[in-house]
Structure 1
Amino acid sequence: MRRRPLAPALLALPLLLPLLAACGTRTAEAGVGTAQDRAELEARAAALQTRPEHVYVTEADGFRLAEQSVGVLGDDGFSAAYTSRDGGVLTLAVERGGVDPASCADLPRTSAPAPATCEKDGPGWYRATDGAHAYVRVEDGLRIRVSADAGSVDRAVLRGAAERAHRASDAELDAVLPEPGPGGAEAPVERGDLPPEGDGAPLDDVGVSG
């Protein structure tokens, strides 16, 4: 019997198998975060004086995160602002606490003191004052509030941003948390508006024109 020669593809298969296996390994490893990465994120959150689980993000059409607004709220909460080109501002605030019909109207106001009205809307509450409004809900012991000026952000946009507010993933933490100061991830985040000496009050210099 005459043996048929092996096809070229079959002859090359033993050479391709190690390459295919290596490619698969690199792809899998590239998609998995390491403990070191997580530790760095936790250190960056600590430098901001908050916790990774207290960092929330949201989105709304035409709005983008104002990176300089990211900061701590209260003891270990989190706050950030999202701005639009037409001057709209959405403020996302996360802190420990709850909300109910009795406490809704007494939440910290986002504008000048004014009577507040609250109504149940979906999983949370819609809170309105003279000129400002907010959506508030509770999740895992945290009070999540998205607020805005009523004249620049309408209720539908506000509600959409509130519904999309969620705990940040590791990738979102990396994008949102400020980079560590010169002392490393454990050093406090530096603010550009603070003087290097004195009582640490923000700089608010008056220009030559007054």
Structure 2
Amino acid sequence: MIRAVRVLPPLLLAAALLTGCGTEKAGPGASGDSGAPADPAELASKAKALGIAPEMVYVTDAPGFTLAQQSVGVQGDDGFSASYADRTGAVIHLYTDHLRYAGQHKYEVSEKGCVVWLEGEGGVSGAVLGKALRAVHRPTAGELDTLLPTPDPAFTDDQPVQRGDLPTNGDGGPPDNSVPTPGL
């Protein structure tokens, strides 16, 4: 079975180039916080725990849209992605990556090697996408708490996760390879 791939109309796609990625001043966010910039050490700790380069973390504000926390993650090798949804099911996707991104979109080159772009789906108007694009900024302290989880200090890459549900010896019993007899 072949699935048809839907391509978003050009009006719903927007690209923004932010020169000097990681150096922009944070503006007040939709979370209502004071707009104080996020602590760089805390941002670095949280981002690196997820495999994201700290200078790639950005947020946006769009009227009626809220961050879908489960959408936050890595874009490419160490870029960033997040999605914002409204009550109607419309979604704005925010992506950042190094300029080596070579997809269907074309971007101008930035002197600092970072690009931020937005894509809309599910009825996001060009006007709303434009407002969200102009509102892209580095996270404030309040936004960072919502955006990225605090890393668990007990977890490190060199320690395997302890499940606790497996028996200490063997696999918990001999395998049952019997075949049931029909009708019995």
Give the TM interval when normalised to the shorter protein: 0.5 to 0.7
Q: 1:137 to 1:171 in 2, by over 3 A?
A: farther
Q: CA deviation at 1:33?
A: 8.9
Residue of structure 1 equivalent to 2:120: 148
Assess if the C-alpha contact under 8 Å between 1:137 and 1:145 holds in 2: no
Paired with 1:95 and 1:33, the residues of 2 have a C-alpha distance of 21
Paired with 2:128 and 2:96, the residues of 1 have a C-alpha distance of 19
Of 49, 66, 69, which aligns to 2:68? 66
Of 103, 106, 120, which aligns to 2:104? 106
Q: 1:80 to 1:137 in 2, by over 3 A?
A: farther
Paired with 1:44 and 1:145, the residues of 2 have a C-alpha distance of 22
Of 132, 138, 142, which aligns to 1:161? 132
Note the alpha carbon deviations across 1:59-111, whole angstroms, 9 max, x for none.
11100000110001111100000000011100000000079xxx7x833xxxx
TM-score for the superposition, normalised by structure 2: 0.56
Identity of aligned residues (%): 42
Residue of structure 1 equivalent to 2:44: 42
Q: Which has the higher strand share?
A: 1
Note the alpha carbon deviations across 1:97-144, whole angstroms, 9 max, x for none.
079xxx7x833xxxxxxxxxx8xxxxxx7xxxxxxxxxx995832111
Larger RCO of the pair (alpha carbons < 8 Å, separation 6+): 2
SS class of match (1:56)? coil
Of 81, 84, 87, which aligns to 1:85? 87
Q: 1:33 to 1:94 in 2, by over 3 A?
A: closer
TM-score for the superposition, normalised by structure 1: 0.50
Q: CA deviation at 1:178?
A: 1.8
* Structure 1 outlier segments of 4+, above 6 Å: none
Tell me the matched-pair count: 125
| CA root-mean-square deviation | 3.5
SS class of match (2:75)? coil
Q: 1:92 to 1:155 in 2, by over 3 A?
A: same
Assess if the C-alpha contact under 8 Å between 1:180 and 1:187 holds in 2: no
Matches within 5 A, 1:188-199: none
SS class of match (1:159)? helix
One-letter amino acid matched to 1:83: A
SS class of match (1:57)? coil
Q: Which has the higher helix share?
A: 1
Q: CA deviation at 1:161?
A: 0.5
Residue of structure 2 equivalent to 1:180: 151
Assess if the C-alpha contact under 8 Å between 1:98 and 1:138 holds in 2: no
